[in-house]
Amino acid sequence: MSHCAVHGCKTSMYNKPPGVSLHPCPGSSEMRSRWLLLLRNKCPMLDWSSSKLCSKHFENKYFDNQRNLKSTAIPTIFPNPSQSVKAIEGGPVLKTKMDRHLSKMTQAQLVADIKNTTVRLREPLNLSEFLTNDLQTRSDAPLEAKLWLLIKKQDHLNNRLMETIVKNKANAELAENSVEEVSKSKKDLEKNIETYKYIVKCLQEKQATLEEQIEILTAVESR
């Protein structure tokens, strides 16, 4: 295709200003999925094999000295400034002001904030009356009950995720320890090898002395 695939971008093969170039999409599925995250709302007609993007959508660091696009390049610059999102590489694209604000809070802050808020809101005493056996809200349940069920589920999920994080941390520590042990036993082994080498050397010297003595004895005997 001769036009840049980014919606609202006017660059084409025929009108591109000097210094602007058109680049094909990446071939690897890993890079494609990263591009897809960034181009979701930007390229209505994206076709991996034929679509091209112009160099205006890539930061300078993604070009080599010959102005070739590096294989790790991702498009992060888009025409409408309000939609231009500086993507965190490999991370989620933060679309709204709320997302950006939330991403600035630490995990601990978020947890504390949620806990404080839920404590202040009072859980309806009759919540269970609005729930079915498979933990859904009945159709006549008020919105408050639906929201409370959601909060409970979310809270449970958070706890589980925290457990997973703690477990992963413990596993990582175990792995680190065993790496240390391996390197320690490797050192021991190296020490042992040095000792054996020394013993072999001593034995060789001893053998040489013995051979010398045998030679002398043979000489004496033959006289």
Nearest Cα to 23, choosing from 65, 58, 64? 58
Nearer to Zn ion, 4 or 149 (CB): 4
According to the binding rule CB under 5 A, does residue 22 interact with Zn ion? no
Nearest Cα to 53, choosing from 83, 33, 73, 34? 73
According to the binding rule CB under 5 A, does residue 6 interact with Zn ion? yes
Nearer to Zn ion, 54 or 145 (CB): 54
- What's the gap between Cα 129 and its chain centre? 44
From residue 120, give the alpha-carbon distance in Å to each of 113, 124, 143, 146: 11, 12, 18, 18
Give, in degrees to the nearest 5, the angle at Cα 48 between 46 and 53.
65
According to the binding rule CB under 5 A, does residue 74 interact with Zn ion? no
Q: For residues 169 and 147, what is the distance between their CA atoms, to the nearest angstrom? A: 33
Helices (H), 137-222: 143-222
- Which residues, 35 to 54, sit near Zn ion by CB under 5 A? 54
Q: Among 1, 2, 3, 9, which residue sits at the site for Zn ion (rule: CB under 5 A)?
A: 9
Nearer to Zn ion, 4 or 46 (CB): 4
Structure tokens at 205: 């010297």
Q: 135 — alpha (psi -120 to 50), left (phi > 0) or beta?
A: left
The interface region with Zn ion, picked from 55-63, 85-93, 123-131, 178-186 by CB under 5 A, is 55-63
Q: Among 4, 22, 69, 145, which residue sits at the site for Zn ion (rule: CB under 5 A)?
A: 4
Give, in degrees to the nearest 5, the angle at Cα 192 between 189 and 196.
140
For Zn ion (CB under 5 A), the number of binding residues is 6
Nearer to Zn ion, 63 or 146 (CB): 63
- State in angstroms the smallest separation of the CB of 12 from Zn ion: 9
Nearer to Zn ion, 4 or 25 (CB): 4
According to the binding rule CB under 5 A, does residue 25 interact with Zn ion? no
- State in angstroms the smallest separation of the CB of 53 from Zn ion: 6
- Summarize as ranges the residues that interact with Zn ion (CB under 5 A): 4, 6, 9, 11, 54, 56
